[in-house]
A = this chain, B = another copy of it.
Amino acid sequence: MSTQGTHDRLVEATRELLWERGYVGTSPKAIQERAGAGQGSMYHHFKGKPDLALTAIARTAEELRGAAERALCGAGSAYERIEAYLTRERDVLRGCPVGRLTMDPDVVANDRLRAPVDETLHWLRDRLAKIVQEGLDQGEFAPGLDPDETAALLVATVQGGYVLARSSGSPAAFDMAVRGALALLHRRADRG
């Protein structure tokens, strides 16, 4: 049983708060309270809010890639793996812990904070594009489908699905958008 030290508790508290309230909405005081750590403790372990946030964002990005990869690396056709990714269990109303940071002006304005966000979304698009290409190679999708465009569409569907869900206070709209994407993709598969 690895007891969680103060350092890790600060990072976990920051990860939660960044997800819930974003960077501008997260104060050092709130972090300290959630982590059960004092002022001095936080400033001993981290240089300040940006430093702590960077550590938290990097950790969250890593976890997201892991979760996505688990859905994408399974057996099955390209369509099935894409479906597995799109319909994987999510806490839809919480939104994407990485994507939401793009709406944070202080994150976008800071290259060091934006980098892990950008890298994660690019990794995801590349990963999906490769799967689309596999589907193309297997004759699963009709030729002419652009892997990069399709991958961007799929990631955008998920990110935008969160927006629809949060605006209505219900996950239903997220699911509709995903079904809309899968339906268009699936019909194409029928032709192959």
Which A residues contact B (CB, under 8 angstroms)? 20-22, 24-25, 95-96, 99-100, 102-106, 108, 114, 117-118, 121-122, 125, 142, 144-146, 148-164, 166-169, 173-174, 176-177, 179-181, 183-185, 187-188
Please name 19 further chain A to chain B contacts, defined as beta carbons within 8 Å, in addition to the given A95-B103, A149-B176, sorted by A numbering: A25-B106, A99-B167, A102-B166, A103-B163, A121-B167, A142-B187, A146-B179, A146-B183, A148-B176, A149-B177, A152-B173, A153-B181, A156-B158, A156-B164, A156-B174, A156-B177, A157-B157, A157-B160, A159-B159
Pairwise interchain contact A166-B103, C-beta atoms closer than 8 A: yes
Least Cβ distance of A79 to chain B in Å? Answer: 13
Partner of A160, one of B142, B160, B167, B183: B160
CA distance A161 to B155 in the complex (A): 8
Task: List residues of chain B with CB within 8 A of the CB of A180.
Answer: 146, 149-154, 156
Least Cβ distance of A18 to chain B in Å? Answer: 11
Task: List residues of chain B with CB within 8 A of the CB of A154.
Answer: 180
Partner of A164, one of B25, B121, B167, B187: B121
